Amino acid sequence: MFGIIPSTDVSAKLIGLLPIPAMVVRAKDGAILVEATNTACREAGLANANDQQVPRHPLLDAIGARIGAFVESDRLNEDFPLQFGSSVECRHFRVAMARLSRNAEGRCVVTFVDQTAELRTEDNLRREMLTDSLTGLPNRAGFSERTEQLLEAAAPGFRYAILMVNLDRFSRVNACLGSMSGDELLITVARRLKGILRANDVLARTGGDEFAIFLAVEEGGNDVAHVTKRISSALATPFRLSGYEICVSCSIGVAFGARRVDDPEDLIRHAQFSVKRSKSSGHAEAYQPQAFDIAREQFGMETALRRAIDRGQLRLNYQPIYDLASGRLVSFEALARWRGEDGVEHLPSAFIPVAEESGLIVPLGRWAIREAVRTLAGWDAQFGGDCGVKIAVNLSAIQLQRDGIAPLLQSALIAHNLPGSRFTLELTESALVTDPDRIAGIMHALKGLGTTIAMDDFGTGYSNLAYLQKLPIDILKIDRSFVTGMLVDRDKVAIVRAILSLSQALGMQTTAEGIETNELAQTLAALGCTYGQGFAYAKPLEVDDAYALLESRRH
Ligand code: C2E
Ligand code: CA
Ligand code: CA
């Protein structure tokens, strides 16, 4: 072993003065002697550096043993990193040792390159890359790194949970109050969330309006339920933004895991998946593998639906709509139908959401418009002139956002030489939420083609009545959920009455959907509802049956 000769008091300035402190040292009988420092080396010449002893540098104390080993070896040079000093003042050096010459026995040059500044810059840059600049929280990458570090350090049986918190309708705050207010909201949410977590939980902002939380789960696992409750109540207090009081709710997805058993990246995905379920259920949802199977099934459905659209295997059914007062057949609503290759009939309530999520709604919607126009032209031809009915086509909110509907309809109308007045377009309230001004523009363009515009599923969504008034809406369609069973439910009657009087006030007509009994049809007519459709009249019909119905009504 090498001992160290106690250093005389070394001037700390030495390092400062010499950008690369170098010294010639001699290892002798287990001791390290400094023969010359940087300047002295130069003056004396390296080969001839055995002048007077100079004060030893404390860095040498740290590496005495390595120098000893080096001079005893037959290597000519060697280098390694060295950390020196305590935490805050810690400096990082690269130490290089080089043999002076083959016969300079026991002597070598040691140089220290101070890399502290470079490393600090690198460190800052790294930290920046892992941090969300708006909230100062870790970002997605930072979250992964922190959880990995914590799991690395955790005990073998350690159990944990990852929570994903997604703000509901955040885009609306941005759209209505501007992105400055949106930023302010995110910062406040971050602060409130931080406030309810324990010191060693990790909070990160992993997306625009998405936060992630890493929690240790203690025996019993009640802590997670507790935290989800506290999150909801922390956000329940309204936020003050640009002079408004804003209420924000959130959806929470949870996934549980154990160290070394589960990959935290999988858990993040699982929790994100559960957020989607939380959005529709309205409460926090824990990840369940069966739910994932449903999603996978949906993915299978997506592939099959894409193929069906490409191969033209979808068709439209037509449900008649009547004038309630006169009983006259006025139009047909076109409803998409899809029979799979295995002969199974898929419901629109299953495949339309898949189409919307996957973007397939764009080709599906284009097909539906063209098919409806083509059908009506065919009916007119068979009828020998205007057959006297309109066709109503459903438009999805996503389709409106992504596709140029008005030009598409216009070219279909031109191709079949039909006026726009023969068509109704059914839009849902949800179309108005994301970008109301743009959608208003599209509605005006459709109106410009002469079409009728109906607001579908009315009453189920968010309706800004003042806004509705400004839009070119001709018909409100009262959602089936209020109509079916209305006669035995006073709340439903009240809603239907309210919608009817609203539409009168706004100068709009109304269509009731889901009329299953004649009694209901009569009641609705008496209440002043304009049109109606439902099983009491007819189920959606195959195209030829619809035409037969139309023919049978010819007077
Ligand atoms: P929707 O636009 O509200 O269409 C009315 C739905 O109510 C239809 O369901 C129809 O079959 C059903 N219905 C009509 N009368 C009655 C009744 O008396 N009782 C009951 N229980 N149900 C009745 P369907 O055909 O299953 O369509 C479901 C939804 O799928 C539609 O709801 C619509 O939102 C969507 N959809 C269908 N075809 C298309 C399409 O081509 N494009 C788009 N974007 N959406 C479509
Ligand atoms: Ca509809
Ligand atoms: Ca509806």
The response to whether residue 299 sits with its C-beta less than 6 Å from ligand 1 reads no
- pLDDT-derived band of residue 491, with 50, 70 and 90 as boundaries? confident
pLDDT of residue 513: 96
Residue 47 located in a structural domain: yes
Position 342 confidence tier, pLDDT thresholds 50, 70, 90: confident
Does the residue 125 lie in any domain? no
pLDDT in tens, 170-196: 887 777 788 888 899 999 999 999 999
Total tally of structural domains belonging to the chain:
3
Band the pLDDT of 307: cuts 50, 70, 90.
Answer: very high
Domain that holds residue 428: 298-548
Buried b (16+ CB within 10 A) or exposed e, 265-291: eebbbbbbbbbbbbeeeeebbbbeeeb
CB-hemisphere CA count at 13 Å for 41? 17
Residue 553 lies in a domain: no
Give the number of whichever ligand sits closest to the CA of residue 535: 1
Tell me, yes or no, whether 162 and 199 share the same domain: yes
Q: Indicate whether 54 and 179 sit together in one domain.
A: no
Q: Are residues 65 and 99 in the same domain?
A: yes
The residue among 260, 287, 314 that closes a domain is: 287
Q: Which ligand is nearest to the CA of 309?
A: 1
What letter does residue 88 receive in the DSSP assignment? Answer: T
Kindly state whether residues 184 and 311 are assigned to the same domain: no
Query: In the structure, what pLDDT confidence band is assigned to residue 292 with cuts at 50, 70 and 90?
Result: low
Local confidence band at 48 (pLDDT 50, 70, 90 cut-offs)? very low
Tokens matching residue 506: 């706004």
Q: Are residues 386 and 503 in the same domain?
A: yes
- Tell me: do 533 and 388 sit in the same domain: yes
- Provide the whole-model pTM: 0.58
My answer on whether 431 and 543 are in the same domain is yes
Confidence class of residue 464 from pLDDT cuts 50, 70 and 90? low
Show Cβ contacts of residue 412 under 8 Å, excluding neighbours closer than 6 positions.
369, 370, 373, 374
Categorize the per-residue pLDDT at 362 as very low, low, confident or very high, splitting at 50, 70 and 90. Answer: very high
Mean pLDDT of all residues in 443-453 = 97
Radius of gyration of the chain, Cα coordinates, nearest whole angstrom:
37
Question: Which pLDDT score, from 0 to 100, does residue 458 have?
Answer: 86
- Reduce the secondary structure of 171-224 to three states and give it as a string: HHHHHHHCHHHHHHHHHHHHHHHHHHCCCCCEEEEEECCEEEEEEECCCCCHHH
Given this model, what pLDDT does residue 56 score? 59
Asked if pLDDT for residue 207 goes beyond 70, the answer is yes
**CATH number for the domain including 172?**
3.30.70.270
Q: Is the same domain home to 109 and 240? A: no
In this prediction, residue 49 carries a pLDDT of 39
Residue 293 within any structural domain of the chain: no
What residues are paired with 331 via a beta bridge?
321, 390
Are 302 and 380 in the same domain?
yes
Tell me if 516 CB under 6 Å of ligand 1: yes
Phi, psi of 447 (to 5 degrees): -60, -40
> Which of 89, 120, 151 delimits the end of a domain?
120
Pocket test for ligand 1, best of 345, 476, 480, 515 (most atoms within 8 A of CB): 480
Give the residue-averaged pLDDT of 317-334: 97
Answer whether 200 contacts ligand 1 (Cβ < 6 A). Answer: no
Q: Could you tell which of 335, 361, 409, 515 is best to mutate to test the pocket of ligand 1, judged by most ligand atoms within 8 Å of the CB?
A: 335
457 lines ligand 1 (CB under 6 A): yes
- Cβ neighbours for 50, distance < 8 A, ≥ 6 positions apart: 26, 35, 36
Task: Check residues 362 and 290 and name the one with the higher pLDDT.
Answer: 362
541 pLDDT band, cuts 50/70/90, is very high
Do 70 and 108 fall into the same domain? yes
- The DSSP annotation for 64-84 comes to HHHHHHHHHSS-SEEEEEEEE
Shared-domain flag, residues 350 and 429: yes
- Please give the number of the atom of ligand 1 that sits closest to the Cα of 535: 18
Nearest residue (CA) to ligand 1, atom 43: 394
Domain boundary among 75, 96, 120: 120
Query: What is the number of alpha carbons within 13 Å of residue 555 lying toward its C-beta?
Result: 3
Residues 57 and 160 occupy one common structural domain: no
| Residue bearing the CA closest to ligand 1, atom 4 | 335
The domain that contains 466 carries what CATH number? 3.20.20.450
